[in-house]
Structure 1
Amino acid sequence: MAATDTTTTLRREALASGLVLVLACGLVAALATGSPGGVARASLVPVALAISAGPSLALHPLPTLGLANRITLVRAVVVAALASLAGEEVPPLALFALGSAAFFLDWLDGRVARATGCASPFGARLDMELDAIFVFVLSALAVGLGHGWWVLSAGLARYVWVGAGRVWPWLAAELPPDPWRPWACGVGITLFLGSLLPLPALAGAVLAGAGALVIVHSFLRDLVFLWRR
């Protein structure tokens, strides 16, 4: 009974947090852009996060989401604000500032999870899926700045992988821990953030291209590993 009560409490908190997240993303987008398109783009962030990470809630062993996961949800609002600005006339420094804030919160939620002992498979999945959304948004912004359509490959990589795993089940197999993945993600995000700065066109394109290559290469490493196994 106690376990059932704990699960119910967690689900209620997750549902309430999800509703607050949707409202917060919409409000931030409305304030940032004042356009229905901006609100729609921002709303896709919590929807995508719920679809991709929501099923993993059962893997969370604690009765509450915990501080680290709440920080991750705050990060989702920042990412949604960034998404709402795609296609809008916005100073590049504003995009860089928002992206940097999201990146800092990514670092912070990991530190808090380890420090408070609230790390869980659900938290890891939530963080990973938000990273994927963040990379997609950054790559879309880079395309909007004229850095080349091909850099969107970094943002699409995760979703192509998941889709391919439904066709070829061996791609959906669990991968062993690899320090390269978080390193590649961090470096790729840093390079994409750099491409948002008001730099010469060639410099921005090189940074965005390098970020895309690092991230796509990480997926290719995993692809080769699973193929050989």
Structure 2
Amino acid sequence: MADVAAAMAAFFVPGIWISDLTIPDVGPRALALAAGAAVAGRAAASILRRNPRLSTPADRVTLLRAVLTACCATVVVADLFAGSGPGVLLVLLGTTALLLDAVDGRVARSTGTASAAGSRLDTDTDGALVLVLSCAAAAAFGPWTLCTGLMYYAFLAGGWFRPSLREPLPPSSARKVIGAVQPSALLFALAPGVPPALGAVAAGLALVLLVASFGRDVVELERLRRRPPSGVAAGPGAAEAARM
């Protein structure tokens, strides 16, 4: 509870300052804060839903990443209402959140506290950062960049209709690399001074890689679902059983 409260406070203090500094109207200011609070609140809820309810040193690093991502969300909404393009603050906050992504996993392994719950929190925070950055990119390059940010959530939604999509995926170095490429490419595209054409190319290539990665994962999960259980003869009955 202390970690969750600290994380929410760590967002609201700079979040209120950012919104007050850039948005004069109360309504849009509240919307900017709500966008950031939704990001930080999702991470906090992930901790509070645990049983037992606890957080590890690695979770605290991930919560910090969620706070930075929440601040990015507030900045993006503030920029949209101000009619200004992405600025240095968004890139700095997003880059810091991205760099910390290499820290929480190492902390979890070094402290022996790696867990499935921590991995989900980490993945959710990654998805939130990419979504926020893709919203900023949409204002600069067009709504097609939203496909990058929404891909992860579409995959999660697909799991409600296709149980195979909820199964764990085998480890993949390519998936990790592509996962790091998405925010990196968007941050590059949003960086001040980058030519719009070059930024659009970077964001487009990242989207192509992401579509290929998710497509490969869906095929892999479907293939694993159809694989006969270990130790069972692969006959027609076994194949049908594997599909249940």
The interval holding the TM-score normalised by the smaller chain is: 0.7 to 0.9
- Structure 2 counterpart of 1:24, from 7, 10, 22: 10
Residues 126-158 of structure 1 deviation map (CA, whole Å, 9 limit, x = unaligned) = 1111111111111111112x2221121121111
Contact 2:3 2:55 in 1 (8 A): no
- Structure 2 counterpart of 1:95, from 81, 90, 97: 90
Report the count of equivalent residues.
210
How big is the shift at 1:85?
0.9
| Matches of 2:121 and 2:88, distance apart in 1 | 28
Q: Percent identity?
A: 34
Q: Secondary structure at the residue paired with 2:141? A: coil
| Matches of 1:91 and 1:208, distance apart in 2 | 15
How big is the shift at 1:226?
2.0
1:3 aligned residue: none
2:176 aligned residue: 182
How big is the shift at 1:19?
3.0
| Matches of 1:41 and 1:151, distance apart in 2 | 19
TM-score between both structures, scaled by the size of structure 1: 0.83
Residues 144-203 of structure 1 deviation map (CA, whole Å, 9 limit, x = unaligned) = 2x2221121121111111111111222222222222221111112211110111211111
Report whether the alignment pairs 1:74 with 2:60: no
Q: Secondary structure at the residue paired with 2:76? A: coil
Runs of 4+ in 1 over 3 A off after TM superposition: 53-56
Unaligned residue ranges in structure 1 (runs of 5+)? 1-14
- Structure 1 counterpart of 2:216, from 217, 221, 225: 221
Look at both structures and tell me which one has the larger radius of gyration over its CA atoms.
2
TM-score between both structures, scaled by the size of structure 2: 0.78
- Structure 1 counterpart of 2:200, from 205, 225, 229: 205
| Matches of 1:101 and 1:90, distance apart in 2 | 20
Unaligned residue ranges in structure 2 (runs of 5+)? 21-28, 225-244
Contact 1:22 1:46 in 2 (8 A): yes
How big is the shift at 1:219?
1.1
Aligned ranges for residues 58-207 of structure 1 at < 5 Å? 58=51, 64-87=54-77, 88=79, 89=84, 92-144=87-139, 146-198=140-192, 199-207=194-202
How big is the shift at 1:67?
1.6
| Matches of 1:71 and 1:119, distance apart in 2 | 13
| Matches of 1:55 and 1:184, distance apart in 2 | 30
